[in-house]
Structure 1
Amino acid sequence: MERGGRYRTHDLDEPTSDLEKYAREVMNAMIREGIPPTPSNFDAWFDKLLDNKPVPFRKRILKLLELEDGDDDNQGILEQHLKEAFSNIKKFLQHINLLYKNLRHLETVVEKRSFEADAIADQSAMTNLLEAMKKDIRTMTSIIKKDASELKEIYTATTDLVQDVQEHAIYDDRYGVYKKNYLLRKMAQEEKLIKEFHHESTLMLVRTNEEVVSRLKSPKIQQLVLRTVARLLLKTSRRSDTIAHYEAGVFAILMKHTSLENARLAADRLKDLVSNTNFFVGDEEIMLDVDIGIARIDLDRSTEQTIVCALEALDIAKKVDESCGICPQDVEI
């Protein structure tokens, strides 16, 4: 700091830190390729060029970026807490419902004892007391019925709200990735960006190999394997990628500013990582394996058609001795 409390700055034409030099390199590369330097594009290219850097350099840069990523999971955590809160409300209402049933049972018991008391001769005082008690209980029951009706309405409204939250939630807490609805929204957004800026992006689908799944008889083990696959995808992906659970154990990665060739390289890295992952079911060791299918984000196809194309590539992956299958339409191109 200089005298007078002013901070000393260096010449903007002479970047000094690794991060500044790399940011300059990213910007220059975007300008050479004619990519508009929007924040979204810069973020994608920042990750894209980082893949080709030496491992020590990548680690230094990623360590710096970790300081900015502290709030990335807030959306998922918030949704998870919201679900838990509604779950507690549901349990609370269930207990109230049980209390109501117990009070109704109490009414039945009192009426039974009143009938028995009526059978006893010369018990006028007892009868009067029981009649008064029955009157009080009928009044209380009327109030409880009214409250129960209101509780039922609240319960129904809360249930509908929980369902609405689940349908609009973007985070799948089973696997720690996004949901299908968020993936579709991001794909539609990316299609608009491609139309405007003419860059390439790719969709990758990943599914656990059928031979591996067939050896897993326990649903709990199958779920554990899917969570493992999701963690591997998060580990190998770039920050600008969108990772989601599409459906039925199929995961999707929207890879912005990524050509088919670069997507192949990403599939190679994922395959290598998966091949070194194993787990035990009892005494049996099982090596994890996945099938990978990739397709271009093509403006001549709808979002749904691109997904279908990637699913076709996923089926092709089972038949070819390569790291991934390619959408037949994209192979022709």
Structure 2
Amino acid sequence: MTRGGRFRAHDLGEPTSELERYAKEVMEAMVREGIPPTPSNYDAYFDKLLDDKPPAFRKRILKLLELEEGDEGEHRGHLERRLRDAFANVKKFLVHINLLYKNLRHLETLVEKRAFEAEAVADKSGMKTLLESMKKDIETMAGIIRRDAGELKKTYEETTDLIKEVQEHAIYDDRFGVFKKNYLLRKMKQEERLIGEFRHESTLMMVRAREEVIERLKSAKIRQLVLRTVARLLLKTSRRSDIVAHYDGGIFAILMRHTSLENAQMAADRLKDLVGNTNFFVGDEEIMLEVEIGIARIDLDRSTEQTVVCALQALDMDGESDEPCGICPQDVEI
């Protein structure tokens, strides 16, 4: 029996809060004007009707929206600035390469000119003067080339650092087509703030391919393909509001917003049914895909990291009971 009854919704009826009354007003306006109540249309009407509200009301609603949005705008702005810096550096990089090429060509022309002049020199004194002049020319050009090469190296190092920074802050994992761990943790912290404000339930689910399945795959390419299949199935079964991410080492996570432990268990059951109907061939051998699942409640009495640890513990407990998934020990009443 879970102890997830901490946050309970009130009975359906007339709206009881300022935000609920406004949400109802938005929906009624859309129905009245014949606007399809899709998420994008609702979002647009939510903002549209807010413009006609008193400043104090707008301020209160916008404060609530800021909680939901979190630091996404600031994060995107930072990445865009770093990308602009990287592109500017690439442009400088190309300019320095062009200068270096021109100066090398100039040096080549200079040497050819001095070599031609050397053929016309008849005495040692004239040759010595020519060589000294040529030496000065080469030293001058070498200094210019060294300076250009130094600027080129500096720009290259700065660009490399910028690209690494952008990669570290990127939120999307191209290998699996889902979000990265850093984005998941950021959204979890944001969800904790929203739970503190609105007192709803949310759940973290961890999923991985069963070890026995992975061990049968000798090819790293095939293992990668299987993990991509798991990620695709998670995206297929998740809701628009869920955050699907690759946590680490082939373990995937789903932040299931507005989802109780009981509903998360039902989602785990559906996911295992879907996975159970998925198979693939390695040579002539047919392999059935299987996954392990663990869930934990987003609990304000725990830190984000502790919730992740709880979900990973639950993942290791999958199969120890008749439940469709493992459940965090701290979320189960003994």
Cα distance, 1:133 vs structure 2? 3.8
Superposed, which structure 2 residues align to 1:35-46 within 5 Å? none
Q: Does 1:243 align with 2:276?
A: no
Aligned to 1:232: 233
Please give the per-residue CA displacement for 1:204-261, whole angstroms capped at 9, x wherever unaligned: 0011111111112222222222221111111110001111111111111111111111
Is the 1:230–1:251 contact (alpha carbons within 8 Å) kept by the matching residues of 2?
Answer: yes
Please give the per-residue CA displacement for 1:67-121, whole angstroms capped at 9, x wherever unaligned: 999xxxxx8xx98xx69x86x949x77x949x78x96xx99xx8xxx9xx9xxx9
Q: Does 1:142 align with 2:139?
A: no
Aligned to 1:191: 192
Partner SS state of residue 221, structure 2: helix
Alignment CA distance shift 1:311-1:194 (3 Å): same
Superposed, which structure 2 residues align to 1:105-184 within 5 Å? 129=130, 131-184=132-185
Aligned to 2:314: 313
Alignment CA distance shift 1:191-1:146 (3 Å): same
Cα distance, 1:312 vs structure 2? 0.4
Moved more, 130-139 or 223-232: 130-139
Superposed, which structure 2 residues align to 1:8-87 within 5 Å? 31-32=12-13
Aligned to 1:253: 254
Q: Could you tell me how far apart the structure 1 residues matched to 2:189 and 2:323 are?
A: 30
Alignment CA distance shift 1:153-1:33 (3 Å): farther
Aligned to 1:50: none
Alignment CA distance shift 1:89-1:202 (3 Å): same
Q: Could you tell me how far apart the structure 1 residues matched to 2:237 and 2:231 are?
A: 10
Count how many residue pairs are aligned between Structure 1 and Structure 2.
Answer: 267
Cα distance, 1:141 vs structure 2? 1.4
Alignment CA distance shift 1:33-1:331 (3 Å): farther
Cα distance, 1:202 vs structure 2? 0.5
Identity %: 72
State the TM-score, normalizing by the size of structure 2: 0.65
Alignment CA distance shift 1:219-1:30 (3 Å): farther
Is the 1:36–1:197 contact (alpha carbons within 8 Å) kept by the matching residues of 2?
Answer: no
Structure 2: gaps (5+ residues): 1-8, 24-35, 44-75
Is the 1:242–1:254 contact (alpha carbons within 8 Å) kept by the matching residues of 2?
Answer: yes
Is the 1:30–1:37 contact (alpha carbons within 8 Å) kept by the matching residues of 2?
Answer: no
Partner SS state of residue 253, structure 1: strand
Q: Could you tell me how far apart the structure 1 residues matched to 2:260 and 2:332 are?
A: 13
Aligned to 2:221: 220
Cα distance, 1:127 vs structure 2? 6.0
Q: Could you tell me how far apart the structure 2 residues matched to 1:313 and 1:285 are?
A: 29
Moved more, 170-179 or 247-256: 170-179
Q: Could you tell me how far apart the structure 1 residues matched to 2:17 and 2:227 are?
A: 38
Cα distance, 1:128 vs structure 2? 5.3
Q: Could you tell me how far apart the structure 2 residues matched to 1:33 and 1:291 are?
A: 42
Q: Could you tell me how far apart the structure 1 residues matched to 2:263 and 2:253 are?
A: 16
Cα distance, 1:196 vs structure 2? 2.0
Aligned to 1:47: none
State the TM-score, normalizing by the size of structure 1: 0.66
Alignment CA distance shift 1:241-1:122 (3 Å): same
Structure 1: gaps (5+ residues): 1-27, 43-60, 70-74
Aligned to 1:300: 301
CA RMSD of aligned residues (A): 4.3
Where relative contact order (Cα < 8 A, 6+ residues apart) is larger, the structure is: 2
Q: Could you tell me how far apart the structure 2 residues matched to 1:131 and 1:67 are?
A: 79
Q: Could you tell me how far apart the structure 1 residues matched to 2:128 and 2:281 are?
A: 73
Partner SS state of residue 317, structure 1: coil
Q: Does 1:203 align with 2:204?
A: yes
Q: Could you tell me how far apart the structure 2 residues matched to 1:146 and 1:231 are?
A: 51
Q: Could you tell me how far apart the structure 2 residues matched to 1:129 and 1:297 are?
A: 82
Please give the per-residue CA displacement for 1:303-332, whole angstroms capped at 9, x wherever unaligned: 111110000000001544542111111122
Aligned to 1:276: 277
